[in-house]
Amino acid sequence: MKRVILVGGGHAHLSVLEDLARKPLQTKTPTEVLMITPEAFQWYSGMLPGLIAGHYQAPECRIDLQPLAKESGVKLILNSVIGIDANRQCVCLPDGTPIEYDVLSLDVGSTTDTSWLSLSKQPIIPIKPLDNFIDRWNRFLDRAKTQGSCHIAVVGAGAAGIELALAARHVLGDNAKKYKVSLIGTSSGLLPGHGKNVIRRIQSILDRSNITFSPHKATATDDGLLLSSGELLPANCVLATTGGTAPDWLELSKLALDSSGFVAVDACHRSISHQNVFAVGDVCARQDKYVARSGVHAVHAGPILAHNIRTTIMDHASKEPPRGKYILKEYNAKKRSLYLLSCGSRYGVVSWGGLSFSGTWVWKWKNRIDTNFIKRFSRINE
Ligand SMILES: Cc1cc2nc3c(=O)[nH]c(=O)nc-3n(C[C@H](O)[C@H](O)[C@H](O)COP(=O)(O)OP(=O)(O)OC[C@H]3O[C@@H](n4cnc5c(N)ncnc54)[C@H](O)[C@@H]3O)c2cc1C
């Protein structure tokens, strides 16, 4: 018996399930595929700002992994992996159970870095894990509405932070005296890595929405957020979208990692140290060229990953693999990725290289792409 383990129900692994549902593995040696992930639902982060803004209900923004796994013939284990020994080819569950594999694929995302925010007793709400974020946000929102005032500070001025700040403003209404929203970045400014036009456009939308942007690093204190400019923001809710760190359990995995602890992979998303291990999405670091950590790449690398897992397990499970048949594919990320940012109301901004457009049509376009993504994984064989 051969075994493939998919760790995490992330964006790329959805494509692996889809691929297996469409074309079951036909190996000479029987092969089982397991997916280990903590929740039965995979949230689609692109729709989270729309959920916070009140445009969507929770079930519209997530994919139920159970029917998808069933159609794919994949055994779903609702648990977390807390360790890997890549030399012994096994993963470890929280109760200490080891599970051996022949081929392993990691799509576990990243964790929000709150290290420089955690000096206070004030609760910080990290954006990931998303289900935890949504629960805590909903509780905060109910309290804020009952009290009739709040000050929300969103720390992290990348696309996710901007979308969340605008979504919070939208759901709380225009009264900026009662409901204050601040956005905190670093000296890299708004939307690092995006073109000047889109940054200008976003700045003017923030101004119109009465969201103040401070390009100063923040430290959380018991009285609020202390900015590197010396200003103290008396926020009673801090939402952290401060970029991702690698899961700490990778440290002892014996996999080659980059200097920040992410799994070092080649262009085929195969570990550079272990040929039977793949990693895709936010958890990996491409060694051949820079590929940004974003949902776009996690999604687009999915079909390549599906091919490469299939190819590798066929190679392992065939008694006499024909020479040259099992060739892995490379994921060639496009130079420019399309980003559609939702801006609170049903209004969006396009960022594509140096180009930028905005309008309600952008939101409709994004809505169509996002809802089609959910539909695609909700009815594979219909
Ligand atoms: C508000 C917001 C908006 C965003 N909008 C966009 C956008 O418009 N476009 C874009 O390109 N990017 C966007 N991003 C970034 C995008 O969300 C991430 O880059 C993307 O989710 C990465 O996908 P992934 O498959 O690597 O991981 P994830 O989608 O994070 O999936 C990881 C999976 O692994 C599971 N898991 C975690 N730990 C373990 C463990 N120990 N054992 C087993 N399973 C585990 C999780 O439960 C989850 O199912 C946004 C992010 C946020 C927060």
Q: What is the pLDDT of residue 119?
A: 57
Taking the centre of ligand 1 as the mean of its atom positions, its distance from the CA of residue 177, in whole angstroms, is 34
Q: How far apart are CA 98 and CA 89, in angstroms?
A: 10
pLDDT of 68 higher than 50:
yes
Q: What is the pLDDT of residue 113?
A: 81
**Three-class SS of the chain:** CEEEEEECCCHHHHHHHHHHHHCCCCCCCCEEEEEEECCCEEECHHHHHHHHHCCCCHHHHEEEHHHHHHHHCEEEEECCCCEEECCCCEEECCCCCEEECCEEEECCCCEECCHHHCCCCCCEEECCCHHHHHHHHHHHHHHHHHHCCEEEEEECCCHHHHHHHHHHHHHHCCCCCCEEEEEECCCCCCCCCCCHHHHHHHHHHHHHCCEEEECCCEEEECCEEEECCCCEECCCEEEECCCEECCHHHHHCCCCECCCCCEEECCCCEECCCCCEEECHHHEEECCCCCCCCHHHHHHCHHHHHHHHHHHHHHHHCCCCCCCCCCCCCCCCCCCCEEEEECCCCCEEEEECCEEEEEHHHHHHHHHHHHHHHHHCCCCCC
For all residues of the chain together, what is the average pLDDT? 92
Q: What is the pLDDT of residue 381?
A: 45
Please write the tens of the pLDDT for every residue from 329-376: 999 988 888 999 999 999 999 999 889 999 999 999 999 999 999 999
Q: What is the average per-residue pLDDT within 205-224? A: 91
Here the tokens at position 106 are 């990691």
Taking the centre of ligand 1 as the mean of its atom positions, its distance from the CA of residue 15, in whole angstroms, is 14
Ligand 1 pocket, residue 163 CB under 6 Å: yes
Q: What is the pLDDT of residue 243?
A: 79
Ligand 1 pocket, residue 79 CB under 6 Å: no
Q: What is the pLDDT of residue 118?
A: 60
Please write the tens of the pLDDT for every residue from 40-62: 999 999 999 999 999 999 999 99
Ligand 1 pocket, residue 160 CB under 6 Å: yes
**Does residue 215 have a cis bond before it (omega within 30 degrees)?**
no
Q: What is the pLDDT of residue 172?
A: 93
Q: What is the average per-residue pLDDT within 149-163? A: 94
Pocket probe for ligand 1: among 93, 294, 369, 377, the residue whose CB has the most ligand atoms within 8 Å is 294
Please write the tens of the pLDDT for every residue from 287-334: 999 998 888 999 999 999 999 999 999 877 665 555 556 789 999 988
Taking the centre of ligand 1 as the mean of its atom positions, its distance from the CA of residue 294, in whole angstroms, is 8
Residue nearest atom 21 of ligand 1, based on CA coordinates:
295
Taking the centre of ligand 1 as the mean of its atom positions, its distance from the CA of residue 314, in whole angstroms, is 29
Higher pLDDT, 379 or 20: 20
Pocket probe for ligand 1: among 7, 36, 45, 127, the residue whose CB has the most ligand atoms within 8 Å is 45
Confidence of residue 177 (pLDDT cuts 50, 70, 90): confident
Go through the domains of the chain in sequence order and give each one's CATH number.
2-38+79-110+246-333 (3.50.50.60), 112-243 (3.50.50.60)
Q: What is the pLDDT of residue 186?
A: 87
Q: What is the pTM of this model?
A: 0.93
Please write the tens of the pLDDT for every residue from 92-126: 999 999 999 999 999 999 988 877 666 566 678 99
